[in-house]
Amino acid sequence: MGQAQGRPLPLAGVRVLDISQVMAGPYACMLLGDLGADVVKIEPPGTGDQTRGSMGFKMKGADSLGFLNMNRNKRSIVLDLKSEAGKSVLLRLVRDADILIENYRPGAMRRLGLGYEALREINPRLVYTSISGFGQTGPWSDRPGFDLMAQAMSGVMSVTGYPDSPPVKAGVPVADIGCALFAIYATLAAYIGARDTGQGQYVDAALFDSAMAFSVWDICDYWGTGQPPQPLGTANKMTAPYQAMASSDGHFVMGANNQKLWVQLCTLMGREELLQDARFSTIALRLAHRAELQDELEKTFRQKPKDHWVETLLANGIPAGPILSYPEAFGSEHAQARRMRMEIDHPVEGRVPNIGFAVKLSGTPQQVRRHPPLLGEHTAEVLEELGIGGEEQARLRAQGALGT
């Protein structure tokens, strides 16, 4: 509908310089591109973004499917920022940029003469966002930071898995994706402010901080009781029963997470005696006797298959669901209706699958305007927009600005 009405995407006209690699930075910049921003991905000569060569299987071309899923709606140029000529080109790009996002090790951009203090002299309204493992300040700031380290050192891994099991990380990169989302909300807020004041600002986003921000229930439990929270498997520290349960043919999830639903569940299962059991009479007591509660409920759940219980519970207003693999989830009717898998035309790969847009806008729906770029695909195009013609491009190449 938004396209039919001719309305521009919300970030149309916003220029973003993406000087990031791997996940949090590229993912954040892709989200801005999905919303209409002109994202110029600045990559080092040779390999470009490290993710181009990642994953354990090959595509037709040199780029991994992971790269193709984090870099749509961007243009790629190659710049050697270690060369004076390459830095000079970046400075020209900065003049008209609105946002710069980078994820070099803390202090690296400043040592190159490309830190926030230097660039705001060229463009005072620039919003400069740095993404790192542990932030720009603090005793851990100079450590290399990846999702695994952030999960481990933020406390996330201490509550993931089952009691007495070896350490387990969250199955998805919660620190990377969480940091990307936190970085985007702060970056866009700073951009809105800069439009009114003409003054940009520096955004310091850390995987460590972002992972800790997810700890609301767990850290409040500790602050309130003085007891460090422990892993609970699929269970929940706020209410019970609210977890995976075993049936006759596998597990499913369910949640009778308030007193009304608890009464409904016991009645539906024909287990009214549980309503009289002193161990289970309140949420607090059910939490204190979670293991016994699970045992009692699974005596009944194990009598029939998981699909029966999911359908029965849902039909009676009790939340429940199957535990799906990724192929099952993406292949489900609901995921298809929500368009959570889409295909993008690519000049080398043909049609490539991409994860769909996680939120939907009614008036200006996100669009795939550009395929994930080949390395340096738009170098000449972007330079020409800066007024750098063929002769000067050749000179910059000879000076090492554009690689070989």
Query: Are 89 and 141 in a shared domain?
Result: yes
| pLDDT band (50, 70, 90) for residue 403 | confident
Query: Are 355 and 304 in a shared domain?
Result: no
Give me the mean pLDDT over the 23-33 stretch. 98
Query: Are 282 and 140 in a shared domain?
Result: no
From 176, 209, 218, 221, active-site residue: 176
Instruction: Evaluate whether residue 234 is within a structural domain.
Output: no
In the predicted model, what is the mean pLDDT of the chain?
Answer: 95
Question: Which residue, of 324, 349, 370, is where some domain finishes?
Answer: 324
Give me the mean pLDDT over the 249-265 stretch. 96
Q: How far is 222 from 227, CA to CA, in rounded Å?
A: 5
Amino acid letter, residue 373: P
Query: Are 315 and 368 in a shared domain?
Result: no
Question: Which residue, of 269, 296, 324, is where some domain finishes?
Answer: 324
Q: What is the pLDDT of residues 46-103, one digit of tens each?
A: 999 999 999 888 899 999 999 999 999 999 999 999 999 999 999 999 999 999 999 9
Query: Are 349 and 311 in a shared domain?
Result: no
| pLDDT value of position 214 | 95
| pLDDT value of position 4 | 39
| pLDDT band (50, 70, 90) for residue 122 | very high
Closest-CA residue to 85 (of 45, 126, 128, 125): 45
Q: Is the peptide bond before 327 cis (omega within 30 degrees of 0)?
A: no
Question: Per-residue DSSP letters for 67-121?
Answer: HHTT--SEEEEE--TTSHHHHHHHHHHHHT-SEEEE-SSTTHHHHTT-SHHHHHH
Integer-rounded Cα Rg, in Å, for the chain is 26
Owning domain of residue 281: 242-324
Q: How far is 89 from 79, CA to CA, in rounded Å?
A: 8
When mean pLDDT is compared across 56-60, 126-130, 302-306, 368-372, the lowest value belongs to: 56-60
Q: How far is 264 from 266, CA to CA, in rounded Å?
A: 6
Query: Are 175 and 111 in a shared domain?
Result: yes
Give me the mean pLDDT over the 259-281 stretch. 97
Query: Are 107 and 171 in a shared domain?
Result: yes
Instruction: Evaluate whether residue 188 is within a structural domain.
Output: yes
Q: What is the pLDDT of residues 135-150, one digit of tens each?
A: 999 999 999 889 999 9
Contact 176, 145 (CB under 8 A): no
> 400 pLDDT exceeds 60?
yes
Count of CA atoms in the C-beta half-sphere (13 A) of 216: 2
| pLDDT value of position 5 | 58
Annotated catalytic residue 49? no
Q: Strands, E, within 217-325: which ranges?
A: 242-247, 250-255, 320-322
Instruction: Evaluate whether residue 221 is within a structural domain.
Output: no
Closest-CA residue to 266 (of 296, 246, 292, 225): 296
> 316 pLDDT exceeds 90?
yes
Query: Are 30 and 179 in a shared domain?
Result: yes
Length in residues, the chain: 404
Sheet holding 320-322, edge to edge: 242-247, 250-255, 320-322
| pLDDT value of position 1 | 34
How many domains would you assign to the chain? Answer: 2
